Amino acid sequence: MKAIVVYLSTSGNTKAMAEAIGNGIESKNVDVKVVSFYDAKPEDLNEAEAIAVGSSTFYYKMLLPMEKFMNETLTATNPQGKLGAAFGSYGWSGEAPIMIAEKMRELGMTVIDPVLRILHTPTDKDLQECKRLGVDIAEKVKQRSKKAAAEMQQ
């Protein structure tokens, strides 16, 4: 059971969210990598059963490098059927996580709703919410794994 949390953070806020999500996943004994999108390897995306992607919002959109990552790198790994989660921080409008979730759905992923959006710098309460999302991801990965094992035994 593996998960990966990929983020693009301009001011450190989305990175803090990603790390808290990773902590939540890890707390449920699911292997997780938390990486900047620059360091996300296709093989890590292929091996992951759950992929969480975060970006800050800039001018009502996800940042261009993240859009390229979603359209090229993630798409090339054919993530159909995998679990997805979207998150991000924002200053004004917060559309990036919604756009990420929409792209994940287009690729055939099962997306956890609602997307997690945090205004400005995450507070301790916000980071607990991020950790809770990580726990949700891990529990869903475990449920899917049990279901797959049961189906293989039939």
Rounded Cα distance between 68 and 43, Å, is: 18
Q: What percent of the chain has a predicted confidence (pLDDT) above 90?
A: 78
- Nearest by Cα to 87 from 103, 101, 73: 101
* Residues 8-49 pLDDT 10s: 998 899 999 999 999 999 999 999 999 999 999 999 999 999
Please report the pLDDT score of residue 134 as a whole number: 97
E-assigned strand segments in 9-75 = 31-36, 50-55, 57-58, 61-62
Residue pair 14/60 in contact by the 8 Å Cβ criterion: no
Q: With a threshold of 0.85, does the pTM exceed it?
A: yes
User: 106: closest CA among 80, 137, 69?
Assistant: 80
